[in-house]
């Protein structure tokens, strides 16, 4: 549900402590710094094993920094912005590399990137009208879960080995379900944004 921010009321991110030197932030910075290395490994030497290791680190550290932040009270404004940025860059780098190597068709990549552009516009429009971003839905979380599994599995599915043959249908199943849920969560963002803007346009009751 999209909730309107009252005048003078800080956003949730703005209410977080303004600190940089925390373990979760360090994990996120390392994860972010490895994005160009990950992309080079996929497109340069095509060292899929090392690229897969970085992708696994990205997934594990993404889970770990959230746990550490909550357990040891190390949440921060910087971390709240850095963590999703790193996730988005990994997704974008993987999609670009997969298209370049013909692992996925370009139109699928265009749909996924287009969805993120639409969501970004929705968040910007909501902010301009005094609304906080919509809460993450279970559909969005399920989409992320499926796509996080699909990416390394698609790498493992490359080649003509027996192992790749076994992994391939599982990888595409995760990719199809994750992509469909990802697009559907984008539609929900549009619905929530429209509902919020319409509610703000109604005249206040007398």
Strand partners, 40: none
Q: Which two tokens stand for residue 158?
A: 């490359």
Averaged confidence pLDDT in the chain: 79
Domains and CATH numbers, the chain: 23-201 (1.20.120.1760)
Mean pLDDT check: name the lowest of 21-25, 126-130, 132-136, 155-159: 132-136
| Least-confidence region, from 4-18, 43-57, 100-114, 191-205 | 4-18
Residue-wise pLDDT tens digits, 138-163: 888 788 788 878 888 888 888 788 88
Model confidence pLDDT, tens digit, residues 20-60: 677 878 888 888 888 899 989 988 888 888 888 988 888 78
Answer whether residue 6 shows pLDDT above 70.
Answer: no
- 202 confidence band (pLDDT: 50, 70, 90): low
- CB burial of residue 18 (10 Å; 0-12, 13-18, 19+): exposed
Query: How far is residue 173's CA from residue 185's CA, in Å, rounded to a whole number?
Result: 18
Quote the pLDDT of residue 40. Answer: 92
Alpha helices for 129-161 (secondary structure H): 138-156
Q: 26-57 as b/e, with b when 16 or more CB fall inside 10 Å?
A: ebbeebbebbeebbebbeeeeebeebbebbeb
pLDDT score for 12: 53
Average pLDDT of the residues in 73-99: 78
Over range 172-177, report the average pLDDT. 92
Residues 190/118, Cβ–Cβ less than 8 Å: yes
Asked if the model's pLDDT at residue 178 lies above 50, the reply is yes
| Higher pLDDT, residue 184 or 66 | 184
Phi then psi for residue 173, to 5 deg, are -65, -45
Q: Is 131 in a helix, a strand, or coil?
A: strand
The encoded tokens of residue 152 equal: 């390394």
């Amino acid at each position: 549900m999209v909730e309107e921010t009252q005048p003078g009321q800080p956003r949730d991110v703005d209410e977080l402590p303004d600190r940089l030197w925390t373990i979760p932030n360090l994990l996120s910075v390392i994860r972010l710094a490895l994005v160009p290395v990950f992309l080079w490994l996929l497109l340069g030497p095509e060292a899929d094993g090392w690229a897969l290791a970085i992708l696994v680190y990205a997934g594990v550290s993404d889970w770990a920094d959230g746990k550490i932040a909550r357990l040891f009270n190390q949440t921060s404004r910087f971390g709240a912005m850095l963590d999703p940025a790193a996730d988005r860059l990994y997704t974008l780098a993987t999609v670009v590399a997969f298209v370049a190597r013909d692992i996925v068709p370009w139109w699928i990549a265009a749909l996924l990137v287009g969805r993120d552009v639409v969501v970004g516009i929705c968040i910007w429009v909501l902010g301009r009208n005094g609304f906080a971003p919509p809460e993450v839905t279970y559909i969005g979380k399920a989409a992320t879960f499926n796509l996080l599994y699909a990416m390394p599995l698609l790498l493992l599915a490359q080649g003509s080995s027996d192992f790749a043959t076994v992994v391939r249908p599982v990888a595409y199943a995760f990719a199809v379900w994750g992509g469909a849920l990802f697009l559907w969560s984008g539609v929900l963002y549009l619905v929530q944004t429209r509902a919020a803007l319409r509610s703000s346009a109604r005249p206040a009751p007398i």
